[in-house]
Amino acid sequence: MVPLKALSLFYLVVCAVALPKIPLSKRDDLLASMKRSGVLSNINRLKSQIAKTKSKIQTGLAAFEKNTGNVHPAVSGKFSGTFTATSNNPAPEKLTSISKRQTEPLTDFEEDLWFGTITVGTPPQTFTVDFDTGSSDTFLPAVGCDDTCDGHTLYDTAASSTAVNTNDPFFLQFGAGNATGTIFTDTVTVAGLTAQSQAIGASNHYSVEFEEANFPPDGLVGMAFESLSVFGDNPLFSTLVNQGTVPPVFGVRLTDSGSELLLGGVDPKLFTGAFRNVSLIEEDFYATALQALEVNNRIIATVNGILPAIVDTGTTLLIGDVDGVEILYSAIPGALDASGVLGPGFFVVPCDNIPTVGVTIGGQSFNVAPDIFNLGVLEDNFCVGGVVSSEGIPFWVLGDIFLRNFYAVFDQGNALVGFATPT
Ligand SMILES: *[C@@H]1O[C@H](CO)[C@@H](O)[C@H](O)[C@H]1NC(C)=O
Ligand SMILES: *[C@@H]1O[C@H](CO)[C@@H](O)[C@H](O)[C@H]1NC(C)=O
């Protein structure tokens, strides 16, 4: 047992020597692309992103049940909140056609990804990875992978003296496809911090969502809790914490440039003022209690029961349930249901009157700035809203559209997430 004092001194020394900061890159910015070239030409990317979030969450929920022996409370019905509108607005009318249909082929298929670098093995092999707070496993394309891994850097387990084959196969379902391979353990270094015997999925097949054309980084590092791990093993960040390398907290800034992940604390350069902290109601995903929806700083609907909202760096939009999202847009003057034009769950709002949409979580309200909420012009005076609905996800998902408004802290030790004003 290391005395607490010695531990904190150790952290101080470690932090002073090498700040465990990971600059995050962004190759293809879906949100910027929509503003530039129109929402319609990017709509398939958005839809595939929503589908990927949905299958990721369903995979996590299944893993939770396998790991804990319990059905997740959002699935069992223990957490099943519904919204009541504070005033009786009619549902938005349907937008049935648009006049200036864009002619670009709708085949694009990319998404917003925040990726940084890790090294794996001895001697170290370098990979770019997406850091995802909505899942818990680490996987990479491996030597011997079929052509679905083409263009990615491949993990060569044979070339690493610290790689250990567990001989356990893994299978990860993603949308239509799946990633499969064998679980190894190896040494992983991230921002100068080293995890020993970290479980890594060495993939011999990648699903289409992870092929190089659709997924610029090589692999993925899940940053959520162990109970969601399909491998039934510790996520990378938990390994670092368990091995005494960092305190169980990390800070995230997602923005067009200067994005950063800081392990073991928060980066005071990237925020001002105090954090507004929200307790987690579940430590599997980073799940908070969603209590109300707001439009222009006025509560327009409240939750009866318990409705989780998870904080997910791996999702682009703010995704809600079908009824709740309809109530939200019902309270926005001039909003129209764009499901007939863009697909299920999409709404448009007048571009000259973009609302400030907010959520109340853990008793505090957090707003999405109008220019972040606005995904871009569909035509004339209609702009697509960054809050969409999806069936098959048993809670709300606070993705990029939410996180871009804040500097966020994910504090596993105190079971909270917090949000501060970014600099
Ligand atoms: C996994 O993906 C492969 C290749 O796309 C496919 O042939 C296989 O049927 C999939 N397996 C499952 C269980 O979905
Ligand atoms: C909020 O959480 C952060 C991160 O753990 C912590 O530094 C801060 O002191 C907390 N603020 C309050 C008011 O509790």
Ligand 1 lined by 157 (C-beta under 6 Å): no
Q: What is the pTM of this model?
A: 0.90
| Catalytic member of 112, 132, 137, 337 | 132
Q: How confident is the model at residue 103 (pLDDT cuts 50, 70, 90)?
A: very low
User: What's the 178 CA to ligand 1 centre distance in angstroms?
Assistant: 6
User: What's the 177 CA to ligand 1 centre distance in angstroms?
Assistant: 6
User: What's the 277 CA to ligand 2 centre distance in angstroms?
Assistant: 6
Whether 404 contacts 421, CB under 8 Å:
no
Ligand 1 lined by 204 (C-beta under 6 Å): no
Ligand 1 lined by 178 (C-beta under 6 Å): yes
pLDDT for the residue numbered 257: 77
Please compute the mean of the pLDDT values over residues 416-422 and round it to a whole number. Answer: 98
Residue nearest to atom 6 of ligand 1 (CA): 177
Please compute the mean of the pLDDT values over residues 295-317 and round it to a whole number. Answer: 96
| Catalytic member of 312, 321, 337, 400 | 312
Mean pLDDT of the chain: 88
Asked about 132 being catalytic, the answer comes back as yes
Ligand 2 binding pocket mutation candidate from 263, 272, 409, 421 (most atoms within 8 A of CB): 409
Ligand 1 lined by 55 (C-beta under 6 Å): no
Q: How confident is the model at residue 187 (pLDDT cuts 50, 70, 90)?
A: very high
Q: How confident is the model at residue 150 (pLDDT cuts 50, 70, 90)?
A: very high
Closest ligand relative to 207 C-alpha: 1
Asked about 267 being catalytic, the answer comes back as no
- β-strand partners of 336: 348
Residue 208 CA, closest ligand 1 atom number: 5
Q: What is the pLDDT of residues 75-97, one digit of tens each?
A: 999 998 999 999 888 888 887 66
Pocket of ligand 2 (CB under 6 A): 249, 274-275, 277, 409, 411, 414, 416, 418
Closest ligand relative to 411 C-alpha: 2
- Sign of the C-alpha dihedral computed for residues 239, 243, 245 and 250 taken in this order: positive
Whether 198 contacts 141, CB under 8 Å:
no
How many angstroms separate the CA atoms of 39 and 375, rounded?
7
Q: How confident is the model at residue 281 (pLDDT cuts 50, 70, 90)?
A: very high
User: What's the 408 CA to ligand 2 centre distance in angstroms?
Assistant: 11
Ligand 2 binding pocket mutation candidate from 270, 271, 277 (most atoms within 8 A of CB): 277
Residue nearest to atom 6 of ligand 2 (CA): 275
Closest ligand relative to 415 C-alpha: 2
